[in-house]
Amino acid sequence: MAGFFGSAGHGCRCPRLDGRETLGNYTDPMGPWYSIGVFAGLGVALGVAGAGALGGRRFALAAPFLAAAIGVALGIGFGGAAQAAAAGVGGILGGAGALELVRGALGRGGTPLATALLVLVAAVVLAGLAFVPIVGYVELVAVPALGMRVRKHAGKRYAGLRTLARD
């Protein structure tokens, strides 16, 4: 199947604007690196969204794999093998990184609905930023790094005034 991103001679599904401009005019200088980065960033966003939606549930560990499967399907449908692989890796890494953040928030007393909504908003922002050149690759590294940092510095639940109530 022809890729969504590419020049008019390579199966671009975008109309010519003014008879001269196509999406290929903007993406050809980078070659396939742009579309691979976009799909990697979209995979990360899918992983973050999956972690937000399934973070407080018993089967939360399935979120990264579900996101990877959806990302691979989108990559195959709109790109090629490289885009599908990037979306799959992005889904696993994004889901694993965000799952640590969601677990930490829920473990410290966050409500499941509010946590899910905030994480879903972050996923939408990440998906939008994936279309900026190079940012998809940065997301691929930054989200799991953030998850490892949160896990490393995770503390206990803040007791607050409950410690005073014991007296």
Q: What pTM was estimated for this model as a whole? A: 0.75
Average pLDDT of span 113-135: 94
With beta carbons less than 8 A apart as the criterion, state whether 24 and 8 touch: yes
Sequence-ordered list of residues with C-beta below 8 angstroms from that of 101, at least 6 positions apart, any chain: 51, 119, 146, 147, 150
pLDDT tens-place string over residues 50-105: 999 998 788 888 999 999 999 999 999 998 899 999 999 999 999 999 998 898 88
* Block residue for tokens 């449908």: 77
Model pLDDT, residue 2: 46
Q: Return d(Cα 47, Cα 74) in angstroms, integer.
A: 13
**What residue spans define the domains of the chain?**
42-149
pLDDT tens-place string over residues 44-59: 999 999 999 998 788 8
Number of Cβ within a 10 Å radius of residue 124? 12
State the amino acid at position 150 in one-letter form.
V
Q: Name the residue among 158, 58, 163, 64 with its Cα closest to residue 105.
A: 158
With beta carbons less than 8 A apart as the criterion, state whether 94 and 18 touch: no
